[in-house]
Amino acid sequence: MKKLKIIFGILITVVVGFFAVKLILGVVEDARIKKIKEGWHIEVVNEYIKIRKEPDQNSSELGEVKKGEVYKVDDYENHNGNFWYHVEYEKGKWGWVANPLGKGYLNDTNNEDDIKAPTIKFNDAVYYVDSIEDINYDHLEVTDDKPGVVVTHKVYHEVNEEQNKDQYWILYIATDAVGKTTKKVQKIEFNKKPDESQVEDFVKLAEDRKN
């Protein structure tokens, strides 16, 4: 019986010690991440991104960064809209990770340069609203690497000749503090039909998206 008590006591000590160490390591890691977030850093939102020795997709691989991880950045390069970030992936070890043009592999925070165009996201294919005066942007997720994004919109009208039905489309324009813009189109349906003076002809939509 005495021997069992000793073994049981040892097991409890080991388990308590394990969780104590885990707790301490967690606190240390939280403090490290908090410190990184005070400066220029990236947070990975893709499942993974390969780390490369040089800012080139053909450069040798050093490892991977994974979704949710946060890394200190000290430099970046813009290769025709494809951004490469120089990150500290391990203590004292640095490599390059890419955020290709049109992709959202990572979030760039506290960069002194406003290098990214805004992003616009909505979850529904159709935006339902009572009238054109009630249009708002509450259903949009608009993000940028710097504050100061302004969102505007235009509404376009077309007639579906097969169904003889009015159809409407809304073009959102997000403009950041240095003039970079992102545009995205969503179908919109009204309970109260807009006046023709409040909408644009649908044929203009393609041109307005491009310009």
pLDDT at 25 > cutoff 60? no
Cite the residue boundaries of each domain of the chain with CATH code 2.60.40.
Answer: 119-210
What is the DSSP track for 50-114?
EEESSSSTTSPEEEEEETT-EEEEEEEEEETTEEEEEEEEETTEEEEEEE-TT--SEEEES-SS-
pLDDT for 23: 62
For CATH 2.30.30.40, the residue range(s) in the chain are 39-109
Entry pTM:
0.58
Encode pLDDT of 1-15 as tens digits: 666 666 666 667 666
**For range 145-164, the mean pLDDT:** 90
Choice among 143-147, 157-161, 187-191 with the minimum mean pLDDT:
143-147
Question: Per-residue pLDDT averaged across 177-196, rounded?
Answer: 94
Whether residue 197 has pLDDT greater than 90: yes
Domain 119-210 belongs to what topology? Immunoglobulin-like (2.60.40)
CATH architecture of the domain with residue range 39-109: Roll (2.30)
